[in-house]
Amino acid sequence: MYGLRIIFISIFTVFLISFKSHALDIEVILPKNTKTISVEMQKMFDHIKSVVPNQVSELLNNKLILDFSKKKVDFKIQCPKNLIKNSQSFLENPEEVENNYANVVSFDDIVVPAENLTKQYVSVPSLNRNWNNITEYPLNVMLVNKGFLSKEVSTFPTCYIPANYFSKIDYLEGQILRNIGKIWNRKAKLQSSFLKSKERVRQFSDSSLFSHLDNWGSYTDVNNNKNIWKGDKLKLVAPAVRISPLQNFSLEDSFSIYFEKFLNDKDFACKKPATHMYFKKIMNFSPFGINECKNLNTKIYGGFLNKNTFNLDPSRIKEIHILLAGPGKAMMSRWGHTMFRLVVCEKGESGSDCVSNNLDDIVLGFRAYVGDMQINPIKGVFGKYPSLIFPAKMSDMKNEYNRTGLRDLTSIPVNFTKEERKLFLYKTLQDFWSYRGKYYFLTNNCATESNDFLMGSFLSSPKKSYLLHKLLGRTLTPTGSISDIKKAKNNAEYKDIKNTFDLTKLNKKNKVANRDYVSASYRPTLQKLVSLVKPSLTIKQSKTLYWNNGDDELLNDIIKKEKLDAKSFIKPEIQDNRVEMFASLPIKERVRLYKKLLKNNPKYAISLTLLETYIKKGLEKSIKSNAVSLAINVKNPSPAAKKVLEAFKKVTKSHIQAHSFYSYGVPSRAEVKSFLKKLSKEYKLKKSDITLGDDESILEGHVWDWEDELIERSENLAKIIFPEWSKELKEIENLLKSLREYPKTKTLSF
């Protein structure tokens, strides 16, 4: 027993020696006139030693040398906006950009510095190659600005508080850890054989997985193995939602900032849960013993003023599908629309039951955030609108696309591992609160955003992310993405991703097996009714039915200017348009046709309500989309009109302001609660703001859905301005009532 004890102690001692041999040591070289460092700085160095893991310490030969003795360059810690402004003088409206970059709505105000301006503070000469006598310095030497040793008391810029920097000592610690991150990025021993095969200088930051996880664009050349990005291309993420705007300088800088926060911020797992998962994976290490956030805020909002919430708890969501909407009438929807469907499973439900019971399913889609009174297609083409994630209910999407838009919805399962599904959901949380890109109708739209999102989700297989990038990196439309995925199925080069998407759900012949994956348009049903009512109605083949020549001319001009592949924008076949033609008939003519049919076939009365309901929804949608813009265009608007417009302006800002928290990443529940309270107080609309007269009032004690209420009041205003709308809606409502009662009354009126 005593012998075993001696053996155990010996093994434990060897383990401690081994562990200690990997611990980081820090050597400080001071200027000649400086003998000591401050107590605060020594504590900071001790802290760095405690947070740097052994595998990182080994890259530095277990020793970090911080040399303060070199020449002092300019030392003045400034806010990033000032650094950028000093470097780039073309900021158009600098007064709109506050220290914390909150409320940056104009994307012309977002700039990226021409160089990394923090190099004046801390530099690794062997990596950065911007100091003299580079070859004299080994990898573990950092040159530090003498200004950090100064005991001068100065006010530290408050813009760094969101990143948890409260003093220049905090700032120095961040710079040191970031540079260690760059060393790890270039010199770490890779676990992935695929990543090893690429032989990139910047091993992790240049990978497709990280770049898409961090929302960098796909306009790149993946055939260059050394650096697939051929120069970093950022999709302009607003600085308001970055830890530091300097993340927008390069992929490596962004990687190093995350590296620092991963090691040094206990809240990082809650603020950036997806990025935390990524670093934990590549480093095989969990700082502070935190595997994941225990109190993660998993809620996102469909609307902030009506508090419409969606819970993205990974335990509730069992499958993730691509949700593809068929082509629509408008120019901006002619190639379909790409979204994601999150299949929600409540307790006691199995996977197949969940897919069938889709009422609770959540739909995520990237859309242009239009804060204007009316959408401007030119702005959409030239990137003047933010691109944001919008959540919705599956039932609402069916109403929007199947019933009103007469477009099919097809659900294509993505074969994620459990880990990848969680990363997808965590990335959704991050991007809902932190991503604000530029929406370009042709080059950064729902398809490209969704493709990029997928590429940043395959944590278990960097190769899948790479191949998807190679396959879809230049695909610009939803229909084009599906077409490319189909073609790759039989291509040996893409064998590792051929089972990533379940394309069997696209088989229209197998309707029974795929009934839970295809939500059909109402068009076939309505076409049959139109054929019964007016058999002589022929299909109009005019190419201007859906898109006018002006749209095509604009589209062709942009394709030529941007040097895009015109084949990606081939106009799809025009659909059978008898339903639209019938809907355009005057109501008197429709009633005449209905009477003729019902005289001998009274059983069709209830079926005809489907046709009139479609026509009514189309009119209501037209009113909703045009009510405010029509009010704007009225000469000399009434005081009532002005009140509605002013209220509308307030409400439309609420969504974009959710990206203005005074901290980075996913906000805590307490932060959201405080934000909602502030928002309700700031945008609370009085009765007089939206009522049109003394006879209209809001019910006391009623839970007020601000946005719906505002739309309704806007509609009422539009009806007053354009009374024929109100009259037509009333006639359709009367006709619907008459059709429902026809089996009893045998009469039809409107």
- pLDDT class of 202 with cuts at 50, 70, 90: confident
Least confident stretch, 238-242, 444-448, 456-460, 681-685: 238-242
Question: How large is the average pLDDT for residues 510-520?
Answer: 82
pLDDT in tens, 5-44: 444 444 444 333 333 445 899 999 999 888 899 999 999 9
- At a CB cut-off of 8 Å and minimum separation 6, what does 643 contact? 688, 689, 690
d(CA 98, CA 161): 14
pLDDT of 221 reads 40
Q: What percent of the chain has pLDDT over 70?
A: 66
Higher pLDDT, 69 or 382: 69
**For position 622, what pLDDT does the model report?**
74
Q: State the pLDDT confidence band at 94, using cuts at 50, 70 and 90.
A: very low
628 contacts 644 by C-beta, under 8 angstroms: yes
The confidence score (pLDDT) of residue 686 equals 57
Q: Which helix (H) or strand (E) holds 711?
A: helix 706-721
The predicted structure's pLDDT at residue 197: 76
- Given this model, what pLDDT does residue 16 score? 37
pLDDT range class, residue 223, cuts 50, 70, 90? very low
Type of residue numbered 228: I
Q: What is the pLDDT of residues 297-346, one digit of tens each?
A: 999 988 766 567 899 999 999 999 999 999 887 767 778 899 999 999 88
The answer to whether the Cα torsion of 427, 429, 435, 440 is positive or negative is positive
Q: Which residue has the higher pLDDT, 724 or 278?
A: 278
Taking the C-alpha atoms of residue 532 and residue 597, their distance in angstroms, rounded to an integer, is 7
> The whole model's pTM is what?
0.84
**Has residue 278 got a pLDDT over 70?**
yes
pLDDT in tens, 552-595: 666 676 666 666 666 666 666 656 788 988 998 999 999 999 99
Which ranges in 324-372 belong to alpha helices (H)?
351-356
pLDDT at 96 over 50: no
Bigger pLDDT: 2 vs 441: 441
Q: What value does the mean pLDDT take over residues 508-523?
A: 83
Query: How much is the pLDDT for 104?
Result: 35
Indicate the range of 269-278, 437-446, 460-469, 498-507 predicted with least confidence. 437-446
Beta strands in 335-478 (DSSP E): 337-344, 362-368, 385-393, 409-413, 437-439
3-state helix, strand, coil in the chain (%, to 5): 50, 10, 40
Altogether, the residues listed in the chain come to a count of: 750
pLDDT for position 62: 94
Q: What is the phi/psi pair of residue 123, to 5°?
A: -140, 145
The answer to whether 482 and 367 have CB atoms below 8 angstroms apart is: no
